[in-house]
Amino acid sequence: MLRLCSSSETRSMLLTNAGIAFKQESVDFDEDSIIASSPKNFVYQATIGKYNANFAAFGVDELPLLVADTVVTSQGKILRKAKCVDDARNILYTQSGNITSIITCMIYHSKNKKVIDISQTDYIFTKFNEDDLETYLESGEWRGKAGACMVEGFCKGYIKEVKGHESTAMGLSVEVLQRFVEK
């Protein structure tokens, strides 16, 4: 069993589907203070910040820690979580018909090992249909999602090509994690 230091329902689902037992609880970390020159640097700094906050609160004596963060990038821009519907619309227009990279950094720390991984999945999207986009925006499902993107939802029908693991794009590189989780 491990401690998932994330409130993400998607990360919880990924662990459940992979058969990895976990307890979900975390302390917050403010990502808005991060200044980064590249998407990989940003996601690494965010994950380290979350890790430090959760390690201070929980340590690894009781349960191993699992901390992760995800960033979306397209056309050279870091696409953060949208703050409002207009922001979400602009973020999604940036991805429409373009290559979107979803980068996930995770830290798994048990008594015996500490693993830091940065994985990337690239999606080539066709142009988003305007009506579909507006319906998605009205649904509010984009809220709390890096890049307002849901490759398992709205964006799925627009995927032209994928390079990498879907789990990475969903926020947790399960294929990598499974190699290190202690049974």
Residue 69 annotated as catalytic? yes
Tokens for 43? 């996601």
Determine which one of 32, 61, 69, 131 is catalytic. Answer: 69
Pairing assessment for the beta strands 2-4 and 22-24 based on DSSP bridges: parallel
Q: Rounded CA gap, 23 and 143, in Å?
A: 24
Tokens 């990989």 belong to residue: 40
Catalytic annotation, residues:
69
